[in-house]
Structure 1
Amino acid sequence: MSLLSVFVKYRNLISQLVMRDIKTKYRRSILGLLWTVLNPLLMMTVLSVVFSYFFSKYGQIDNFPVYLLCGQLIFNFFNESTSIAMGSIIHSGELIKKVYVPKYLFPISKVMSSGVNLMASMIALIIVMLVTRARVTPTILLALFPLLYVLLFSTGVSLFLAAAAVSFRDLMHLYGVITTAWMYLTPMIYPIEILDGAPAWVRMIVNINPLTGFIKIFRCVVLDGVTAPAILHVQSLIWCAVALAIGSAVFKKAQDGFILKI
């Protein structure tokens, strides 16, 4: 509720911070925001060339480009939003020392700016679906739910990382290693069935991975044209609640000491 009240009260400031981040990211870029569409398309093309033949050969994935892009959009948003939000307090040190604003705004604005990129990247998904003649059903409208889940989960993780990075700067260097391992433990490229012969602990980690649930729901409504099982929604909501509770609690406890460490 504290996060929600901050978001509502300072929504105009958050929108200004989001616009600043987007303008800074694409400053002096000829294509600008168009890169949010081109990046996932280009990455999908490269990975499809490498992996599509292998998986289609064994009859495990029918429309690999759409399958891959669904996973890419969810994981890339989580990776981008948490990575840039982690340094939001440190990089806003001068502003924090001069003007009082709720410090929650800085990591939240980073997640929101990544959310704008995510929405633009959905155009890439629609293009790929049209090119590959994927079946489009009304369930695609339910894609809002997994996108909302990954947004809430990323916000909680971002709050935790932003607070932790102020005291432990090495986290900013270590996080890239963590997200690389997280990517391989997320069925973004490969079908989860390929892990049937893997050790039990690997299958357990992949199955409880919150991003796995978000991606499964997203693929159900976008690629398969069916509603996702209710258990996936329940599990996703639990992960969102846990991440937001832990992230906001850690951030609230640490925020008074930020000014002494940045």
Structure 2
Amino acid sequence: MQELFNKRNRVILLELVKTDFKLRYQGSFLGILWSVLKPLLLFLVMYLVFVKFLKFTDGTKTYPIVLLLGIALWGFFTEATSVGMNAIVSRGDLLRKINFPKYIIIISSMSSALISLSINLIVVLIFGLISGVDFTWKVLLAPFSIIQLFILAMGVSLILSTLYVKFRDISHIWDVILQICFYSIPIIYPLSLVSNFHPGVAKVMMLNPIAQSIQDVRYSLIAPQTTPTTWSTVNNIWISLIPIVLTVVVVIIGVVYFRKSSKTFAENM
């Protein structure tokens, strides 16, 4: 993707990012505030149902902030892959008029989700300060895990956007897969709950690159003393590398498949 560093392509990417972010809240009374309100409202519902009613908690004072952070990160992944999947089809008219690398459309669509995540992370940090979270130097590690999550989302988006050009039913299938993933990784419940039930299940669960990256961000940003990660759960350095390897594999497959199919996008749309 070295073409991205071309000045003309950088200008196109920047303009697409601006346009996508403006159109996202066009006609909305609260506008950009929805970037903050949406995860906060979802957090409130999840907190009342799963923490207060069903007692899903790890017993620490930081768990509500950990829950909020997990919802924000999951929201980013779902939004990035969903808009990425629709990006090529929604920009079909632009593809026919201007000749530029088509993956720029995917990156620009995902960038709006990344901007929303940045806003949400500021909110999480503010709540963390109010709640008395003891931030450590490990917060410097959080961006690396967020980058991994972005790269994974990009690989998935490249695959989905290519499939969506030919098969529009893929959007419904992806919605179902996202629901399955949401409940199969520790976002609304602590990993300790699964470990107490069956340690083997918890280890397999943490080999999911989405779960691994979200837990790593929680560990680095909020609660390094109480947040289990793939590294601490699996206790085997080579097996612990599986989520990172899977991320790389997904991106490679996405890039190869996208580049191979991009030449016929205009014909199929």
Could you state the TM-score of these two structures normalised by the residue count of structure 2? 0.87
Q: Is the 8 A contact 1:36 1:120 kept in 2?
A: yes
CA-to-aligned-CA distance 1:83-128 (integer Å, 9 cap, x gap): 0110111111112122211111111111111111111111220122
Distance 1:59 1:244 in 2: 34
Structure-2 residue corresponding to 1:7: 4
SS in structure 2 at match of 1:101: coil
Q: Which residue of structure 1 lines up, in the alignment, with residue 24 of structure 2?
A: 25
Q: Which residue of 2 aligns with 1:237?
A: 244
Fraction of identical pairs, as percent: 31
Q: Secondary structure at the match of 2:222?
A: helix
Superposed displacement of residue 217, structure 1? 0.7
Q: Determine whether 1:95 maps to 2:94.
A: yes
Q: What does residue range 33-52 of structure 1 map to in structure 2 within 5 Å? A: 33-52=32-51
Question: Cα–Cα, structure 1 residues 8 and 236, in superposed 2: closer, same or farther, change >3 Å?
Answer: farther
CA contact (8 A) 2:88 2:161 kept: yes
CA distance in 1, matches of 2:224, 2:54: 21
User: 2:81, 2:153 within 8 Å by CA — same for their partners in 1?
Assistant: yes
Q: What's the CA shift for 1:60?
A: 4.0
User: Alpha-carbon deviation of 1:47?
Assistant: 1.4
Residue 219 of structure 1, CA deviation: 1.3
SS at match of 2:102: coil
Structure 1 pair 51–258 and aligned structure 2 pair: CA distance change class (3 A): same
**Bigger mean CA offset, 225-234 vs 25-34:** 225-234
Report deviation, 1:238. 2.0
In structure 2, the CA distance between the partners of 1:85 and 1:190, relative to structure 1 (3 Å rule), is: same
Deviation of 1:77 (Å): 0.7
| Contact 2:57–2:190, Cα closer than 8 Å, also in 1 | no
Q: Which amino acid aligns with 1:145?
A: F
- The answer to whether the Cα contact below 8 Å between 2:139 and 2:221 also exists between their aligned partners in 1 is yes
Assess if the C-alpha contact under 8 Å between 1:150 and 1:211 holds in 2.
yes
TM-score (ref. length: structure 1): 0.89
What residue number does 2:263 align with?
256
Offset, 1:34: 2.3
Give 5+ residue unaligned stretches, structure 2: none
CA distance in 2 between counterparts of 1:57 and 1:261 reads 47
Deviation of the 1:52 alpha carbon: 2.0
Segments of 5+ residues of structure 1 without an aligned counterpart are: none
Write the distance in 2 (CA, Å) between the matches of 1:233 and 1:14: 35
- Displacement of 1:207 in angstroms is 2.3
Partner residue, 2:205: 206
Matched, 1:171 2:178: no
Deviation at 1:244, TM superposition (A): 1.2
* Deviation of the 1:245 alpha carbon: 0.3
Deviation larger for 56-65 or 215-224: 56-65
Distance in 2 between the 1:159 and 1:242 partners?
13
User: Following TM superposition, by how much is the alpha carbon of 1:54 offset from its aligned partner in structure 2, in angstroms?
Assistant: 5.3
Quick check: 1:107 aligned with 2:106?
A: yes
- Alpha-carbon distance in 2 for matches of 1:164, 1:139: 39
Please give the secondary structure, in 2, of the residue aligned with 1:224: coil
